[in-house]
């Protein structure tokens, strides 16, 4: 689903893949301490973000919609993603905005100051002969001092392809997204 391209690549090259990014201290150093309260926010972000410069992947080829949610109904990438959190009800409201728009609702949990969004799926066709057996994704996110969105995505997935059966991938990636300028 979210890391479908990574899975397709993994199927063509190996039966087990593990990818783990290290978060830059400049991104998460601001969250030091024992902060256990999640801050509510209502902010619109540019859909295009960045990975840590230490990542082996292109640091600027990442989209918030693909990393955590989905695309617009016509398969197009949205230009912006509006997020509204409510820690009391455990709700995350998402609006993908582009030529069309799409509204989504999720349940989130507060864990050590980070919102946690869990998603699981199975049986999806990912393209190029790859079928997902199961996929579990946990996204942790919170806003920084400058309203930037810091996201950690952890994926554990198994899939089959016409080339390799019972392949798997474990990945942990970090992303940063900037708010729309005022």
**107, 116 contact by CB (below 8 A):** no
Looking at the whole model, is its pTM more than 0.85? no
pLDDT score for 6: 46
Own/partner contacts of 6-10, CB < 8 Å, gap of 24 or more, are 6/169, 6/171, 7/126, 7/130, 7/132, 7/157, 7/159, 7/167, 7/169, 8/126, 8/127, 8/128, 8/130, 8/161, 10/167, 10/169
Q: pLDDT by residue (tens digit) across 47-56?
A: 999 998 876 6
Q: pLDDT by residue (tens digit) across 67-102?
A: 999 999 888 999 999 999 999 999 999 999 999 999
Percent of the chain predicted with pLDDT > 90: 51
Domain locations along the chain: 4-177
**3, 154 contact by CB (below 8 A):** no
pLDDT score for 76: 94
């Amino acid at each position: 689903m979210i890391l479908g391209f990574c899975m397709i690549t993994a199927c063509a090259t190996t039966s087990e893949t593990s990818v783990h990014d290290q978060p830059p201290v400049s991104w998460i150093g601001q969250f030091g301490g024992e902060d256990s309260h999640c801050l509510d926010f209502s902010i619109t972000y540019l859909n295009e973000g960045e990975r840590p410069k230490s990542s082996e992947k292109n640091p600027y080829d990442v989209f918030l919609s693909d990393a955590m949610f989905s695309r617009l109904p016509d398969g197009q990438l949205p230009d912006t993603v509006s997020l509204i959190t409510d820690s009391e009800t455990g709700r995350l409201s998402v609006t993908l905005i582009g030529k069309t728009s799409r509204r989504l609702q999720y349940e989130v949990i507060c864990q050590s100051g980070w919102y946690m969004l869990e998603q699981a799926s199975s049986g999806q066709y990912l393209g190029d002969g790859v079928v997902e057996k199961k996929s579990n994704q946990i996204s942790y996110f919170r806003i920084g001092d400058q309203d930037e969105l810091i996201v950690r995505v952890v994926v554990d997935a198994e899939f089959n392809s016409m080339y390799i059966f019972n392949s798997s991938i474990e990945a942990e990636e970090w992303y940063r997204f900037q708010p729309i300028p005022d």
